[in-house]
Structures are given as structure tokens and as C-alpha cells.
């Protein structure tokens, strides 16, 4: 998600101001970002962001990295930096250094979303009502196919549902998701559910080293009778991604994190998912001076 080949699919929508931080000639950090006026955001076209750091980078180095970013932006006339931190499940090693440095620099917590996550090492049992749906699906002889048929899912299921229920369109157009899937064929996966050759449901998964993240979920109006989504997600959780460290359903938030879609949250939790926090901060770039006296 943080690779340039992924980010550039919507480069026309953002004024990119991504930063590279060097120590002498070595790259030590990256900040995927875009600019709006005198404000810089963790890239608004990405689900998560913040400073991207190497495994060997220690806290005392991160202090100077973060200070250098804030100082650079301040000198460039940027007054505010908005950071959305990478959720902990995507870390390859423990890495909450930014939480501490945002506290020291007196940043403001502006938003918290909650993502519903299954940790496979301590997996909870799927509730019986979901397993009833799995039984219905088997009785209806549904079939799951993993492949590259994004078109059927987008045009017959996802786009009609979003338009009818929310007057919205997917974040990625069909052309965009197909192009991204060609570039990242091992990371962007499509799972469709069929009844007698007709698509009835599907899910698009973005897979990283630690996480299988559900980017899109949708089904036709018969999902309760057919059990199509219960069937699909029981398979994804207990079979296809059973060895992945985390299975991430994504957020159920609305209104900038202040509300939750109760029904959607309940559905995810019946599969055994529980909540992790996805945090957003705002910091005045001039406050880089507050980092000067951290180390004794």
C-alpha cells in the first residue's frame, strides 16, 4: 500500500508531498503525504500512513527523524501536519514510538476509528448464527472461486449495492482495481461466490505480510437466504488465511469516527473479530522544539 506503484493510481487527485529522510547517505524513514494549502496530511489516498521506519531504527533516532520532518515542514511554510498512524497489526516489530513522541510534542488526537480484527493465535469461535448461514450455503450448493474476475463483482454486486444503499461509488473504479491487481497480483485478491454459475457475493482482499485486510464486501439481496457471506468469510478465516497473523475486517465508523454502524460491527464481531484503535493526530510543525529536551 505504501509503494509508489500503488499510490500513483490516484496521483491526479492529490498534491503529493511525500518525504524521504536520510542520515548521511542512508534512507532511514519515509512519510507518504500530500499537501493542502499550508497543511500536510499522511497521504489521504491511503488507509494508513505515518512515518515508515526500518526494523533497526531505535527510539533515540526516531526522535531526531520526527524533529527533522517537523522542522523541514515548518521552514517550508507548512503550519500543521495531520498524521494517521499505521495500526499496530501492520507493524513487523513493536513500534509505538510515534505515540510517545506525539505526546511529548503535545499533538492533538483528532479522530479514532476502530477496526474489527481477528488474531489467529487467539481466535474466537464463530457464533452459531454465522454457522447456520454456512449450512444454508452448502445446502444451496454455493461455490467460492478465487481469481481475477473483478468485473463481475464490481458491475453486478458492488457498484449497484453502493449506489442503491448509499448513493456512493467504490473508492477504486473497476479500471483502477484491475490495474492495481495486475501490478500487485500477490497482494490484491478477489473471492467471488456463485450459485449455479451466477455471482451472488464477493470480497476483495488486500494481503500484506501480517494481515489479510478486507477492502470490499458485498452480496446480492438473497444473502440471508443463501448464506453467501457467512459461507465466504468462514472459508477466508478458517481456511484460506488461517496462517495469517491477523484478519482485518476494517472499520465500521461513520461521521469522522464519532459513530458506528451497529449492524455492520455486530456482523464482524460474530466471526470473532474484536476492535483495535486507528488514531489520527494533528501537530503544529513549530512544536518540533518540544522534542529538544526529551533525552537526558
Task: Kindly state the average pLDDT of the residues 246-265.
Answer: 96
Same-domain status, 94 and 14:
yes
Same-domain status, 155 and 61:
no
Q: How many domains does the chain have?
A: 2
Alpha carbons 99 and 95: distance in angstroms, whole number = 9
**pLDDT tens track for 225-243:** 999 999 999 999 999 999 9
SS (H, E, C) 188-241: EEEEEEEECCEEEEEEEEEECCCEEEEEEEEECCCHHHHCHHHHHHHHHHHHHC
Same-domain status, 27 and 50:
yes
**pLDDT tens track for 27-39:** 999 999 999 999 9
Q: Quote the pTM value.
A: 0.93
Contact 70, 283 (CB under 8 A): yes
Whether 104 is in a domain gets the answer yes
Full residue range of the structural domain in which residue 47 is found: 4-113+278-291
Same-domain status, 129 and 231:
yes
Same-domain status, 218 and 285:
no
Given a cut of 80, whether residue 205 has pLDDT beyond it is: yes
Whether 265 is in a domain gets the answer no
The CATH number of whichever domain residue 34 belongs to comes to 3.40.630.30
| pLDDT value of residue 25 | 93
Whether 273 is in a domain gets the answer no
CB burial of residue 284 (10 Å; 0-12, 13-18, 19+): middle
Whether 173 is in a domain gets the answer yes
Whether 259 is in a domain gets the answer no
Same-domain status, 133 and 221:
yes
| pLDDT value of residue 12 | 77
Whether 84 is in a domain gets the answer yes
Whether 269 is in a domain gets the answer no
| pLDDT value of residue 1 | 73
Whether 253 is in a domain gets the answer no
Amino acid at each position: 500500500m505504501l509503494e509508489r506503484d500503488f499510490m500513483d493510481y490516484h496521483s491526479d487527485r492529490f498534491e503529493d508531498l511525500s518525504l524521504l529522510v536520510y542520515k548521511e547517505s542512508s534512507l532511514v524513514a519515509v512519510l507518504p503525504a500530500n499537501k493542502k494549502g499550508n497543511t500536510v496530511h499522511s497521504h489521504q489516498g491511503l488507509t494508513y500512513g505515518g512515518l515508515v521506519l526500518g526494523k533497526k531504527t531505535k527510539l533515540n533516532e526516531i526522535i531526531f527523524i520526527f524533529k527533522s520532518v517537523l522542522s523541514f515542514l515548518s521552514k517550508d511554510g507548512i503550519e500543521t501536519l495531520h498524521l494517521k498512524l499505521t495500526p499496530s497489526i501492520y507493524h513487523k516489530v513493536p513500534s509505538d514510538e510515534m505515540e510517545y513522541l506525539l505526546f511529548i510534542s503535545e499533538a492533538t488526537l483528532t479522530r479514532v476509528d476502530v477496526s474489527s480484527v481477528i488474531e489467529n493465535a487467539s481466535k474466537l469461535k464463530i457464533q452459531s448464527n454465522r454457522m447456520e448461514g454456512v449450512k444454508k450455503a452448502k445446502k444451496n450448493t454455493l461455490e467460492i472461486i478465487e481469481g481475477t474476475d473483478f468485473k463481475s463483482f464490481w458491475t453486478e454486486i458492488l457498484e449497484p449495492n453502493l449506489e442503491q444503499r448509499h448513493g456512493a461509488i467504490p473508492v477504486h473504479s473497476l479500471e483502477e482495481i484491475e490495474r492495481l491487481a495486475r501490478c500487485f497480483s500477490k497482494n490484491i485478491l478477489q473471492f467471488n461466490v456463485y450459485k449455479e454459475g451466477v455471482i451472488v457475493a464477493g470480497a476483495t482482499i488486500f494481503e500484506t505480510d501480517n494481515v489479510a485486510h478486507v477492502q470490499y464486501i458485498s452480496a446480492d439481496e438473497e444473502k440471508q437466504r443463501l448464506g453467501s457471506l457467512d459461507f465466504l468469510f468462514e472459508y477466508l478465516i478458517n481456511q484460506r488465511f488461517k496462517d495469517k497473523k491477523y484478519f482485518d475486517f476494517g472499520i465500521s465508523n461513520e461521521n469522522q469516527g464519532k459513530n458506528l454502524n451497529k449492524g455492520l460491527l455486530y456482523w464482524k464481531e460474530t466471526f470473532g473479530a474484536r476492535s483495535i484503535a486507528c488514531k489520527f493526530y494533528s501537530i503544529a510543525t513549530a512544536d518540533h522544539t518540544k522534542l529538544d529536551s526529551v533525552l537526558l
